[in-house]
Amino acid sequence: MSGSSVRLSGREWTYLRNTAFLPTALQKIVDAAELTSHTRYVVRVSAEVAEEFRSAFTERLAKVGFGVSYELTNEGRVLEDLIDRFNQQSSIDNQQRIED
Protein backbone atom coordinates (compact mmCIF):
# COMPACT_ATOMS: atom_id res chain seq x y z
CA MET A 1 0.00 0.00 0.00
CA SER A 2 1.29 3.44 -0.89
CA GLY A 3 0.26 4.98 2.44
CA SER A 4 -1.75 7.79 0.86
CA SER A 5 -4.05 9.67 3.21
CA VAL A 6 -7.77 10.35 3.06
CA ARG A 7 -8.98 12.92 5.57
CA LEU A 8 -12.33 12.30 7.23
CA SER A 9 -14.45 14.60 9.33
CA GLY A 10 -15.60 13.33 12.70
CA ARG A 11 -19.09 12.92 11.24
CA GLU A 12 -17.83 10.83 8.33
CA TRP A 13 -15.65 8.68 10.58
CA THR A 14 -18.51 8.09 13.03
CA TYR A 15 -20.81 7.14 10.14
CA LEU A 16 -18.27 4.63 8.83
CA ARG A 17 -17.57 3.19 12.30
CA ASN A 18 -21.28 2.60 12.91
CA THR A 19 -22.24 1.20 9.52
CA ALA A 20 -22.73 -2.47 8.69
CA PHE A 21 -22.37 -2.36 4.89
CA LEU A 22 -18.57 -2.19 4.62
CA PRO A 23 -16.67 -5.43 4.03
CA THR A 24 -14.53 -6.52 6.99
CA ALA A 25 -11.24 -5.50 5.35
CA LEU A 26 -12.48 -1.95 4.75
CA GLN A 27 -13.99 -1.74 8.24
CA LYS A 28 -10.57 -2.61 9.70
CA ILE A 29 -9.04 0.31 7.81
CA VAL A 30 -11.67 2.66 9.25
CA ASP A 31 -11.05 1.22 12.72
CA ALA A 32 -7.34 1.98 12.31
CA ALA A 33 -7.93 5.64 11.40
CA GLU A 34 -5.58 8.09 13.03
CA LEU A 35 -7.09 10.93 15.03
CA THR A 36 -5.33 14.09 13.85
CA SER A 37 -7.34 16.68 15.75
CA HIS A 38 -10.41 16.85 17.94
CA THR A 39 -12.72 16.11 15.00
CA ARG A 40 -10.49 14.95 12.13
CA TYR A 41 -9.27 11.50 11.17
CA VAL A 42 -6.95 10.12 8.52
CA VAL A 43 -7.05 6.70 6.89
CA ARG A 44 -4.20 5.39 4.77
CA VAL A 45 -5.16 3.65 1.55
CA SER A 46 -3.78 2.69 -1.84
CA ALA A 47 -5.55 3.66 -5.06
CA GLU A 48 -6.94 0.13 -5.26
CA VAL A 49 -8.36 0.27 -1.73
CA ALA A 50 -9.79 3.74 -2.38
CA GLU A 51 -11.63 2.19 -5.34
CA GLU A 52 -13.01 -0.56 -3.07
CA PHE A 53 -14.33 2.10 -0.68
CA ARG A 54 -15.91 4.06 -3.55
CA SER A 55 -17.54 0.92 -4.88
CA ALA A 56 -19.05 0.11 -1.47
CA PHE A 57 -20.23 3.73 -1.05
CA THR A 58 -21.77 3.81 -4.53
CA GLU A 59 -23.64 0.56 -3.95
CA ARG A 60 -24.98 1.86 -0.63
CA LEU A 61 -25.91 5.20 -2.23
CA ALA A 62 -28.04 3.39 -4.82
CA LYS A 63 -29.90 1.57 -2.04
CA VAL A 64 -30.53 4.32 0.53
CA GLY A 65 -29.24 7.60 -0.84
CA PHE A 66 -32.39 8.96 -2.44
CA GLY A 67 -35.87 9.75 -1.17
CA VAL A 68 -39.18 9.13 -2.90
CA SER A 69 -38.76 12.22 -5.09
CA TYR A 70 -35.15 11.24 -5.87
CA GLU A 71 -33.74 13.96 -3.63
CA LEU A 72 -30.63 13.08 -1.65
CA THR A 73 -31.23 11.81 1.85
CA ASN A 74 -28.93 12.83 4.71
CA GLU A 75 -27.13 9.50 4.36
CA GLY A 76 -26.91 10.07 0.61
CA ARG A 77 -25.12 13.39 1.17
CA VAL A 78 -22.59 11.73 3.48
CA LEU A 79 -22.02 8.96 0.93
CA GLU A 80 -21.53 11.43 -1.93
CA ASP A 81 -18.98 13.36 0.14
CA LEU A 82 -17.15 10.12 0.93
CA ILE A 83 -17.13 9.08 -2.73
CA ASP A 84 -15.59 12.46 -3.59
CA ARG A 85 -12.95 12.22 -0.85
CA PHE A 86 -11.83 8.74 -1.87
CA ASN A 87 -11.97 9.69 -5.56
CA GLN A 88 -9.67 12.66 -4.99
CA GLN A 89 -7.17 10.37 -3.28
CA SER A 90 -7.24 7.85 -6.10
CA SER A 91 -6.68 10.65 -8.62
CA ILE A 92 -3.66 11.90 -6.64
CA ASP A 93 -2.22 8.37 -6.45
CA ASN A 94 -2.69 7.84 -10.19
CA GLN A 95 -1.06 11.19 -11.02
CA GLN A 96 1.93 10.31 -8.82
CA ARG A 97 2.31 6.98 -10.66
CA ILE A 98 2.28 8.78 -14.01
CA GLU A 99 4.93 11.26 -12.82
CA ASP A 100 7.17 8.48 -11.44
Burial (Cβ within 10 Å: 0-12, 13-18, ≥19) of residue 82: buried
Q: Give residue-wise pLDDT tens across range 5-19.
A: 999 999 999 999 999
| Among 57, 53, 58, 77, CA closest to 67 | 77
**In sequence order, what are the residues at sequence separation of 6 or more whose Cβ sits closer than 8 angstroms to the Cβ of residue 59?**
21
Q: Give residue-wise pLDDT tens across range 47-93.
A: 999 999 999 999 999 999 999 999 999 999 999 999 999 997 655 44
> How many whole angstroms separate alpha carbon 4 and alpha carbon 36?
15
Q: For 81, what's the count of Cα atoms within 13 Å in the CB-facing half-sphere?
A: 15
pTM of the complete model:
0.84
